[in-house]
Structure 1
Amino acid sequence: MRGAMLLGTLFALAAGLMWGLVFVGPLILDDYPAVMLAFGRYLAFGLIALPLGWLDRANLRELTRADWWEALKLSLVGNVLYYLFLASALQRAGGPLPTMIIGTLPVVIAIVANRRNAARDGRLPWRHMAPSLGLISLGLLCVNQSELQSLLADPHADPVRYAWGAVLAVGAVVCWTWYPIRNADWLRHHTQRSPRSWATAQGLMTLPLASLGFALTWGYFSATDAPWAMPLGPRPLLYVGMMLAIGLLASWVGTLCWNEASQRLPTRLAGQLIVFETLSALAYTYVWRQAWPDTLTLAGVGLLVAGVSWGVPQHRAP
């Protein structure tokens, strides 16, 4: 059992390292609207899933109609809607604030899963969870306070735009609280199924959604005479390269690693390990900025790490 938990934790770490890349894409392609980034990423994910699905067709044939319907719902909420919210938030509020709002996911998922999945995973007493969740919340407060001070000190900042970015980031949290819990339900009830095949199935179901969204975006821009060079925008080579890289690494590899973790770990523990995504995203964002985080931000990150480090040993596999 310890080996399964260790392996699951390593898979969650790998997923976090992959997912952190999606926070950099909107900063690099800051002249692209969020819909182009979201639908482009998942169009790439779906196209990458096509040859992978052919290679894994034997396992995919075992999925029932209900399984494919579940994959479609997971793809819509956990992929398309989530990244629309996230990319929009990043472009309105920059990197750190949306990153840290998304960073509340370890707290939110742990609380929801601890109550919802008590029969399957066991219920951890709230007094055991409170210290780690308190440290994580305090860390988030420190980082957000630092960002608010930076906003107030910037004479060119737009508080309304910044606030909308925060609201959109909260929408992303709602989507990705629902997704891992439902995804874990399927994986834990189908332990004989391949997490790799389930990642590919979600990619295949994402393809029609992303294709439709991309086509509608193209039609809207054409109908409104928007100053936008469809279908690939003003920097086509960079756009295609970024979408393919994120589609492969963040979407397929990240989903594969997360599926492996979700099949081995209690959902409340897997939720807390999403902190690896938060830390990776912060690191990548500051590398892109070529800046060093201030003391308060570093203190917030330290509290975040301490909270998860405190909380993980409290969990036990059922």
Structure 2
Amino acid sequence: MSRSYVLGVAAAVFATFSWALNFLSPYMMGALGPIDFITLRFIVSGGIGLVMLRIYWPGDTVLSRRSILSAGLLGVLGYAVYIGCIMGSVLNGGAIIAPAFLSATPVIIAVAGNMIERTTTWSSLAVPIMLAVCGLVAANYGTLVGVLDNDLTSYLAAVSYAVGAVLTWLMFSILNQKMLAKIPRVHAGLWTGLMMVGAGLSVVVFVPFGLVLDMYTYPHLDLHLGNTLPVLAAAAALACVASVGGAWAWNFASQRLPMALSGQLISVETIFAVAFGLIAEQRLPTGLEVLGIVGLLAGASIAVRVMAQGNREGVKVQA
């Protein structure tokens, strides 16, 4: 393997590790609400993004206005919106549901890609699809049973947020890889800075609307140094590592790895996310949860391998 390839894999794994820290957000926001915490976090991220633009902006820029705007919108989609969906799922359904759905992303990509352009037979995708479905059922079974006797609304909200996170991630990863392929000379630090500024501006613009709609918690709290400093520190830490660090590492990896491999590596986030979530909940996974996650990861791995083989052979399968 080339040095560039190895560095790309290492960067992608670091990105998945840093993004998995997002699953700790609901446990770190103290008395604040999720909208408050996201706003704090991305104001910090936007500030760091401005510093990065100051450092990496070239005298003769390689970016058009359209590319700059696209980078900012990708930051909104892949960070502010995505993390909002993650927090919503964890708050409503606990540590397992969102990672379980995210781990099925490579299978979803394989199915969608084969529907658009048949590069492999559906029978070759039958095993990963079956593993993904069974894995989701197993991983969600305990949570579903726990809410059937109570209010099903929270569980359905958690699933809805998880599906939103999957769709957001799919759109972000595909669009980001395509944009970087068109501008290979752009520095990963510059592209990351533009993303963070976009995400930061989005939360600032949202503040007046959130206040009018009473979506913020802080106006109703008795804020003082004791209950705000830990939350500010947590938001700043996540902004530095999970937002800026993760974005930089993923952009770096996206410039060096094919999408098939990066799609498989995103499954690693599931392992980190489940581990962090269970640590925060101070419990061990149930047998069904372990079985479900293993099934999902196996299905993702097989799906990526099948699609990669079909793309290498370059054969279009007749319907």
What does 1:1-318 align with in structure 2 at a 5 Å threshold? 4-29=4-29, 31-58=31-58, 61-113=61-113, 123=119, 126-152=122-148, 157-218=150-211, 220-221=213-214, 227-229=220-222, 235-314=227-306, 315=308
Alpha-carbon distance, 1:44 to partner: 1.6
Q: Which runs of 5+ in 2 are unaligned?
A: 313-319
* Contact in 2 for aligned 1:38/1:87 (Cα 8 Å): no
* Counterparts in 2 of 1:162 and 1:32: CA distance versus 1, 3 Å: farther
TM-aligned CA deviation for residue 17 of structure 1: 0.4
Preserved contact between residue 42 and residue 200 of structure 2 (Cα < 8 Å): yes
Is contact 1:110–1:267 with CA below 8 Å preserved after alignment?
Answer: no
- Alpha-carbon contact 1:60-1:197 (below 8 Å) kept: no
Contact 2:36 2:218 in 1 (8 A): no
How many pairs were matched up? 310
Letter in 2 for 1:286: L
Say if 1:107 and 1:136, in contact at 8 Å, map to a contact too. yes
DSSP 3-state at the match of 1:58: coil
Offset at 1:115? 6.1
8 Å contact from structure 1 (residues 27, 95) kept in 2: no
Unaligned runs of 5+ in 1: none
Report the more deviating stretch, 126-135 or 300-309: 126-135
- How far, CA to CA, are the matches of 1:96 and 1:11 in structure 2? 25
Whether the 8 Å contact between 1:93 and 1:162 is mirrored in structure 2 is yes
Alpha-carbon deviation of 1:311?
4.4
1 CA distance for matches of 2:260 and 2:78? Answer: 18
**In structure 2, C-alpha distance between the alignment counterparts of 1:226 and 1:80, rounded to whole Å:** 22
Question: Is the deviation greater in 100-109 or in 249-258?
Answer: 100-109
% identity of equivalent residues: 25
Quote the offset at 1:249 in angstroms.
Answer: 0.8
Secondary structure, in 3 states, of the residue corresponding to 1:264? coil
- The amino acid that maps onto 1:88 is G
8 Å CA contact retained: 1:14, 1:254: yes
Structure 1 residues 159 and 46: alpha-carbon distance in aligned structure 2, compared to 1, 3 A threshold: same
Deviation of the 1:269 alpha carbon: 3.3
C-alpha distance 241-313 of structure 1, shift in aligned 2 (>3 A): same
* Alpha-carbon shift at residue 56 of structure 1 (Å): 1.1
Cα pair 2:8 2:256 within 8 Å, conserved: yes
Amino acid paired to 2:28:
I
Could you tell me the TM-score, scaled by structure 2's length? 0.84
Q: Match of 1:63, SS?
A: coil
1:251-303 CA distance string (max 9 Å, x none): 11111121122223332432232211121110001111121101111111222
Which TM-score applies when normalising by structure 1? 0.84
Q: Determine the C-alpha separation between the residues in 2 that align with 1:124 and 1:182.
A: 23
Q: Conserved in 2, the CA contact under 8 Å of 1:113 and 1:268?
A: no
Give, in whole Å, the separation in 2 of the partners of 1:188 and 1:103: 25
Secondary structure of the corresponding residue to residue 269 of structure 2: helix
Contact kept, 8 Å, 2:30 with 2:227, in 1: the verdict is no
- 1:50 is aligned with what amino acid? L
Q: CA deviation at 1:57?
A: 2.0
SS at match of 2:70: helix
Aligned amino acid, residue 144 of structure 1? N
SS in 2 for 1:32: coil
- Alpha-carbon distance change, 30 to 151 in structure 1, aligned in 2, over 3 angstroms: farther
Assess if the C-alpha contact under 8 Å between 1:42 and 1:207 holds in 2: yes
